[in-house]
Structure 1
Amino acid sequence: MPKYDEYETPLASRYASPEMRKIFSARERATTWRKLWLWLAEAEKQLGLAQITDKAIEAIRTHLVVSDEAFQVIAAEERIRRHDVMSHVFALEKDAPDAAGIIHVGATSCYVCLLISPVNVTDNADLIFLRNALDLVLPKLAKVIHNLSQFALKYKDLPTLGFTHYQAAQPITVGRRAAQWMQDLVLDLEDIEYVRNNLKFRGAQGTTGTQASFMEIFHGDTSKIDQLNKILCEKAGFASCYDISTQTYTRKVDLRIANALSAFGASAIRIATDIRHLAHDKVLDEPHEATQTGSSAMSYKMNPMRSERVCSLGRKLSNINVNFSETFSSQWLERTLDDSAIRRIDIPEMFLLSDSILTLLDDVTNGLVVFPAMIKSQLEQELPFMATENIIMKLVAHGVSRQEAHEHIRILSRETVHVMKIEGRKNDLIERIKKTEFFKPIWDDIDDLLDAKLFIGRSAEIVERYAGSNGVVDGKLEKYKGYITSTVTAQLHV
């Protein structure tokens, strides 16, 4: 239940999914730390450290999930020790006294420094959280791309007015516009997949990354250090460790991930802003529930609130990489602790933001509403201007001077713009042309020149090649098809 007398981030209380919130929960963090201690003890025992007994390992394994009572112990100890990881060590000792020796003392004094050092516990845990969160983001992003591919294919040949500079331009199709949104998200998918596939583990590297403490533990046997890290990677589910670590894994890793997610945030804003503009023009809309209220005062309103929320959350996500850039560049030598507090905030936040935006985009893209009559009306207001080049070419084919034809069109177009802008009347350029004797040679051809499909080029083909069967998108989404076909559209929490 919410604590109504205490602040809670809206990302957790209103927007993000339970799955993403769980990854960054206090219990998940504390439990993962205990798993890391268990894995290290198991690996060291496997490599011959006699001090680590089966009884001690079983004691840790039995108490992996941190109880509410243990959290109370942790909170009390942290007030005394001013060290969060040491407080967790103390709580685990209390839960599993048979393991106290290997958690707190270990084989040597260097082993103590290794095991209770926050960088080895928290950094490896953070890499696990980063991996798990990326694994949650990727299929959700694939689902949104799939939604748009279905939409684009459905409307691949429905002409609609194009815009450049937000001024009327050559027509495209509704599906072709959606394909552009889709391509941006596919680029994001590729970037996020890249950082996910190249994510590695820190492993057991020692206090400054030299593995000196392990040289003492294993009496200079470097092969056992390598084997230790191989075992840890296998247990944690990573292919390998980073080649170089200092007291932490390089914060460049966080920055690479943040760059990919921030780029996705920019794409989300771009798409949602287009939808908001199109909703203003009444040619397309996001889904609305029958009971949804648009305004407390203006009861007729149907605001694009989901797309507005995407823009709001996206504004934060698209800029969050700046924090990671500054954190990375501010690390001195082998490390400083000014990264700790901000990473506790920003790492969960960038994923909670991404997750929240994906929930919104899944809902919106799965229920986009198209209004063909309004699209046709909008086209009819501008299409006569678009057709003028073809009209001029028809006249030229009848032996009329192009320059003379151009001048007649220019004069009539200016007159038409005047009645549209000053008098608020509809576009009457075609009527004017049909009443002007100069254009008589092509009067019978003019109506045929106003077919919107004459102006959309290869739009339908482009959509089909990109989003259709065996198209580009089909290949990109292949690995996510199980998720896409088995998952219902994300439901908004509020």
Structure 2
Amino acid sequence: MASPYDTYQTPLTGRYCSPEMCGLFSQRTRHSTWRKLWLGLAESEKELGIKTITDEALEQMKAHLTVTDEDFETARIEEKRRRHDVMAHVHAFGVVAPAAAGVIHYGATSCFVTDNAELILMRDALDLLSKKLAKVISNLSAFALKWKAEPTLAYTHLQAAQLITVGKRAAQWAQDLMLDLHSIEQVRKELHFRGAQGTTGTQASFLEIFQGDSAKCDKLNELLCEKFGFPGCYDVSTQTYTRKVDLIVANAVCGIGSSAQKIAGDIRHLAHWKEIEEPWESSQIGSSAMAYKRNPMRSERIYSLSRELLSKPATFANTHADQWCERTLDDSAVRRIDIPEMMLLADAICMGLDNVTSGLVVYKQRISARVQEELPFMITESIIMKLCAQGVSRQEAHEQIRVLSNEAGSVVKNEGKPNDLVSRIRNNEFFKPIWGDLDGMLKAELYTGRSAEIVDKYCGPGGPIEKALAPYTSYIKSVSTAELNV
């Protein structure tokens, strides 16, 4: 018997993703969903007066909704003969439900099961992702509140800028993910069913089945939407639901990738500066050669998976653009790959983010030391304003402080010495009017602006995050931190 190690396996299912998402996109779930769709179609058709569908047929279908290994083998042999996967599974279902063999797939085209199943799977995947995303946002919100007042260097152009707080930066991360959560919730809410639309979306076959009764064609889709939990069918279909839907879903899901890559990138930089690190286990090895290293491998994994996720929308856009007239089959193979991979990638990224944000380590003294290195530069704007308040020309004050700042910066960079800007100011008569203020100005907390207030308003009680996460409260409280497989 062949070993699983002898065949390529995707790292997504073997290494990175949750059992729930892997199971959702398994062949068993997909093809069992086909059977549920065939049963739902038959039940609805019988309810609307199709007498050839018997109670016995429905009972046999209900008894075999889960595709077994033997069913898969039957379908495999049949598909090799017929070169048609849907008909192969129609045959396999008919073998175990012989009373229904003649009415399975009655009036339908292949996209009845393929497209509707994909919509069901995407909907359920969005539900999984929204919960996991909410958990990450909750982690970041708690972290932001804890560190809302801790001054830290902000960086613009990756150069030290005016101070913010550790919590303020985390609140920004959380807001990006909140926007993703909103997009996913919106897409999920607006997701519709394809339903039973016939071979080119005209419902011609069903119109014939119902002997020209258009109302029954509409009722058929109403019944199907009720059975499978959709608000309605898309108003217009071709052989498929429009592939624009896949692109809309992809844009929402792949937004997680851009947010995650941004967050992971920030954490990697902060780890480089030794300010904040991702969780680190006592026996973890950072490098096979350099034993001292503490590489941010979890953040790097998130970053890497995000890069792949961000590539997906382009493929969905191209697939939609290339659907000539009512449908071409060049959408099939790529969607078999990209729909599951998109959801699996997003799942793995959310797991990684949950793991990292649940255990961020803050090195408070290191952050404070780095702030003090740059603080003399941070107070220059306040010095200018104080001088202006005493009648000094702003342009002249700016020029004087610019010259001294460049001199101090040169000492730091060219001589490796501490920042001596404050000493230079104390020894320059131009700045004599504010000499008495300097000691009181060298307190980092004076330069974080409204950072703490912003965090409180956004992450605190009654704030946007609390309101947005309310539907997920029980999930967040019940679930443990995601454990990464390796």
Indicate the residue corresponding to 2:17 in structure 1.
16
Cα gap change, 1:401 to 1:252, in 2 (>3 Å):
closer
Q: What is the SS of the residue equivalent to 1:101?
A: coil
Change beyond 3 A, Cα 1:446–1:121: same
Aligned positions of 1:118-129 closer than 5 A: 118-129=110-121
Farther off after superposition, 45-54 or 346-355: 45-54
Q: Distance in 2 between matches of 1:224 and 1:433?
A: 86
- What corresponds to 2:247 in structure 1? 255
Q: 2:206 aligns with which of 195, 214, 230?
A: 214
Within the candidate set 289, 294, 297, 1:297 is matched to 289
Q: Report deviation, 1:40.
A: 0.8
Partner of 1:209, secondary structure, is: coil
Amino acid corresponding to residue 95 of structure 1 in structure 2: V
How far has the Cα of 1:411 moved from its partner? Answer: 3.4
Q: Give, in angstroms, the shift of residue 431 of structure 1.
A: 2.3
**Hey, what does 1:138 align to over in structure 2?**
130
Residues 174-219 of structure 1, C-alpha deviation per residue, up to 9 Å, x if partnerless?
Answer: 1111111111111111111111000011111111111111111111
Deviations 1:290-346 (A, max 9, x none): 111110001111111111111100001112000000000100111010000000000
CA distance 1:73–1:166, shift in 2 (3 Å): same
CA distance in structure 1 between the aligned counterparts of 2:216 and 2:464, rounded to whole angstroms = 46
Aligned to 1:29: 30
- The AA in structure 1 aligned to 2:147 is Y
* Aligned AA (2:458): Y
Q: Distance in 1 between matches of 2:368 and 2:362?
A: 11
SS at match of 1:163: strand
Any conservation in 2 of the 1:282–1:374 contact (CA below 8 Å)? Answer: yes
Cα deviation, 1:10-34, whole Å, max 9, x if unaligned, reads 0111001100011110100111111
Amino acid at match of 1:68: D
Tell me the alpha carbon deviations over residues 37-60 of structure 1, each in whole angstroms, 9 at most, x when there is no partner. Answer: 111111111111110100011111
**What displacement does 1:462 show?**
0.8
How big is the alpha-carbon RMSD for the aligned residues of Structure 1 and Structure 2? 1.6
2:466 is matched with which residue: 446, 460, 474? 474
Q: Does the 8 Å CA contact 1:284/1:368 hold for their aligned counterparts?
A: yes
Tell me how far apart the structure 2 counterparts of residues 443 and 225 of structure 1 sit (CA, whole Å): 85
- Correspondence for 2:149 among 128, 152, 157: 157
2:191 paired residue number? 199
CA shift, 1:2, in A, is: 7.2
Cα deviation, residue 438, structure 1 = 4.6
CA deviation string 1:443-494 (max 9, x = no partner): 3321111111221111111111111100011111111111111111111111
Partner of 1:458: 450
Code of the residue aligned with 1:287 in structure 2: it is P
Matched, 1:188 2:189: no
Q: 5+ residue gaps in structure 2?
A: none
The aligned counterpart of 2:307 is 315
2:103 aligns to what SS in structure 1?
Answer: helix
1:87 aligned onto 2:88: yes
Q: Is 1:267 equivalent to 2:259 in the alignment?
A: yes
Q: CA 1:396–1:45 in 2, change beyond 3 Å: closer, same or farther? A: closer
1:335 and 2:336 aligned: no
Percent of aligned pairs sharing the same letter? 61
The question of 1:363 aligning with 2:364 is answered no
Please name the residue that 1:63 is paired with: 64
- Equivalent pairs counted in the alignment come to 485
In 2, distance between residues paired with 1:403 and 1:237? 67
Following the alignment from structure 2 to structure 1, what is the Cα–Cα distance between the partners of residues 379 and 478?
47
Report how far residue 389 of structure 1 moved: 2.7
Distance change (3 Å), C-alpha of 1:232 and 1:377: same
The aligned amino acid for 2:50 is L
TM-superposed deviation, 1:227: 1.3
| Distance apart, 1:392 and its partner CA | 3.6
Normalising by the residue count of structure 2, what TM-score does the alignment of the two structures yield? 0.97
AA aligned opposite 1:82: R
Q: Normalising by structure 1, report the TM-score.
A: 0.95
Please say which of residues 1-10 and 436-445 is displaced more in the overlay: 436-445
* 2:39 corresponds to: 38
Instruction: State the alpha-carbon separation in 2 of the partners of residues 29 and 208 from structure 1.
Output: 23
| Matched-pair contact (CA < 8 Å) for 1:261–1:318 | no
Shift of 1:393: 3.8
Flag the 1:426–1:229 CA change in 2: closer, same or farther, 3 A: same
Listed as ranges, the matches of 1:478-489 within 5 Å are 478-489=470-481
Task: Give 1:77's aligned amino acid.
Answer: E
Task: Please give the secondary structure, in 2, of the residue aligned with 1:66.
Answer: coil
Residue 169 of structure 2 corresponds to: 177
Secondary structure of residue in 2 paired with 1:94 = helix
2:370 aligned partner? 378
